[in-house]
């Protein structure tokens, strides 16, 4: 059976009651310097178009080390990583037209903590963090029942987050080994087909349609942004509003995604399914035309949903596989004949050969299921998942 590492994130609120003033000011100082460093790195990255951590590190580490000799060096290393990652995602979102700024910014609210500057005691619910001069400060962590599962788990890196309201959080990544069911010819599967407004899922026995209305939400926000661009004077205000609505849009879509993932996993469990089948969207890249920006944004968004579902599914002990999605909406899942739009309904398609008539989404789901069995009946265990 395939064994995989699933990453889990734990978020702890830091208990700041009765904490010494000196400790608080150490924390603020850490945030301040880390921000200065990341800002400086971002400027270098932008000026020289550096997206690689290694290059950024070689360009600036020594200089920053001299400038901040009392700061544990791992903060500078991680700041290089952090800045490279901010710059990379800035470029990506600008390419997709999702970003209104002309250079990346860092709000300075997050510090990436390297394992060497941070210790965690899950039993005692405490964390220590290295600060100036190599001293360590101790933080008490507030915890609830949901944190109990992390006892005894291996932890990795962490992030220290300072909220606008002054609250401090520690996000720690843990990894858990899960044993996933084999994706083979005997597995019961649930295939998931993602469209703009509908996520359809099921297998040969049933197909459910989830109305997400994501496309409608996106259009609404698109119109809102267009209004802001034409009506609001003042670049800074315009930029702020645009970003506010971007954030709101993404949060709404993400909420829909999580709900959908939960429903699909629940159904899989209910029917004894063990494998989730999705479209391998990378395959579309081969025949994409560069003009087709809209399609690219959709695929990017679908990919985000797939990642959420994949992660949640694995946590629940379900395997996830991706299959070739080409022609899954244009070929009959029964006889392989060509499908044409039907006269009897807008969403219906009809097979020329065997006269099957079905909803488009149902067709896509059944074809994905069929493709899974074609691939995994022969290949069996040689490949498991991505
Ligand atoms: Zn047919």
For 39-78, the pLDDT digits (tens) are: 999 999 999 999 999 999 999 999 999 999 999 999 999 9
Which pLDDT belongs to residue 85?
Answer: 96
Q: How far is the CA of 350 from the centre of ligand 1 (A)?
A: 8
Distance 38 CA to ligand 1 centre (A): 59
pTM over 0.85: no
Mean pLDDT of 3-32: 91
CA of 352 to the centre of ligand 1 (A): 7
Q: How far is CA 15 from CA 12, 114, 157, 164, in A?
A: 9, 21, 20, 16
The whole-number pLDDT of residue 150 equals: 85
For residue 200, report the distance from its CA to the centre of ligand 1, in Å: 20
Q: How far is the CA of 274 from the centre of ligand 1 (A)?
A: 28
Give the CB-side neighbour count of residue 381, counting CA atoms within 13 A: 6
Instruction: Pull the structure tokens for residue 177.
Output: 């080994």
Q: How far is the CA of 54 from the centre of ligand 1 (A)?
A: 55
Task: Please give the distance, rounded to the nearest whole angstrom, from the Cα atom of residue 298 to the centre of ligand 1.
Answer: 29
Distance of alpha carbon 148 from alpha carbon 174, whole angstroms: 13
Q: Which of 284, 268, 281 is nearest to 201 (CA)?
A: 268
CA–centroid distance, 196 to ligand 1, in Å, is 26
* Residue 338 alpha carbon to ligand 1 centre in Å: 7
Residue 195: phi and psi, rounded to 5, are -125, 175
Measured in angstroms, how far is the CA atom of residue 359 from the centroid of ligand 1?
13
Q: Which residues of 48-65 are buried (b: 16+ CB within 10 A; e: fewer)?
A: eebeebebbbebbbeebe
Q: In Å, what is the CA distance from 60 to each residue of 43, 65, 371? A: 11, 9, 50
Is residue 321 pLDDT above 70, yes or no? yes
* 383 pLDDT tier (thresholds 50, 70, 90): very low
355 CA → ligand 1 middle, Å: 6
| pLDDT tens per residue, range 120-151 | 998 889 999 999 998 999 999 998 877 888 88
What spacing in Å lies between the alpha carbon of 329 and ligand 1's midpoint?
12
From ligand 1's centre to the CA of 212, what distance in Å?
29
How far is ligand 1, taken at its centre, from the CA of residue 369, in Å? 16
Cα 194–Cα 198–Cα 201 angle in degrees, nearest 5: 60
Q: How far is the CA of 47 from the centre of ligand 1 (A)?
A: 58
| Alpha carbon of 357 to ligand 1 centroid (Å) | 9
- Distance separating alpha carbons of residues 228 and 292, to the nearest angstrom: 25
- Ramachandran angles phi, psi of 304, nearest 5°: -65, -40
In total, the chain counts a number of residues equal to: 386
Q: What would the pLDDT profile of 269-314 be if each residue is shown by its tens digit?
A: 999 999 999 999 876 644 444 445 566 677 778 889 999 999 999 9
């Amino acid at each position: 059976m395939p064994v995989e590492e699933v990453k889990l994130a734990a978020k702890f609120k830091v208990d700041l009651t009765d904490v010494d003033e000196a400790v608080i000011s150490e924390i603020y100082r850490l945030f301040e310097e880390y921000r200065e460093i990341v800002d400086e790195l971002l400027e270098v990255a932008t000026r020289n178009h550096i997206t690689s951590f290694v290059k950024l590190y070689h360009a600036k580490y020594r200089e920053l080390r001299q400038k901040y000799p009392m700061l544990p060096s791992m903060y500078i290393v991680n700041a290089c990583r952090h800045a490279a990652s901010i710059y990379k995602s800035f470029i990506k979102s600008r390419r997709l037209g999702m970003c209104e700024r002309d250079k990346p910014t860092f709000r300075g609210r997050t510090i990436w903590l390297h394992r060497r500057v941070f210790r965690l005691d899950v039993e005692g619910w405490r964390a220590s963090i290295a600060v100036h001069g190599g001293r360590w400060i101790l933080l008490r962590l507030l915890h609830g029942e949901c944190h109990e599962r992390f006892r005894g788990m291996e932890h990795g890196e962490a992030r220290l987050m300072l909220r606008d309201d002054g609250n401090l959080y520690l996000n720690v990544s843990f990894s858990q080994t899960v044993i996933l069911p084999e994706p083979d010819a005997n597995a019961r599967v649930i295939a998931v087909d993602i469209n703009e407004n509908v996520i359809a899922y099921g297998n040969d026995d049933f197909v459910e349609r989830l109305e997400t209305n994501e496309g409608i939400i996106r259009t609404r926000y698109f119109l809102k942004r267009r209004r802001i661009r034409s009506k609001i004077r003042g670049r800074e205000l315009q930029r702020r509003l645009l970003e506010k609505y971007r954030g709101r849009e993404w949060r709404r879509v993400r909420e829909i995604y999580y709900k959908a993932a939960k429903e699909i996993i629940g159904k899989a469990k209910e029917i004894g399914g063990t494998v989730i089948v999705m479209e391998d969207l990378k395959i579309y890249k081969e025949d994409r035309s560069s003009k087709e920006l809209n399609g690219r944004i959709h695929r990017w968004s679908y990919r985000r949903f797939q990642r959420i579902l994949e992660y949640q599914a694995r946590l629940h002990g379900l395997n996830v596989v991706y299959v070739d999605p080409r022609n899954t909406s244009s070929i009959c899942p029964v006889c392989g004949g060509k499908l044409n739009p039907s006269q009897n309904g807008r969403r219906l398609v009809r097979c020329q050969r065997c006269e099957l008539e079905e909803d488009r989404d149902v067709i896509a789901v059944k074809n994905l299921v069929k493709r899974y069995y074609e691939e995994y009946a022969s290949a069996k265990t040689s490949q498991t998942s991505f």
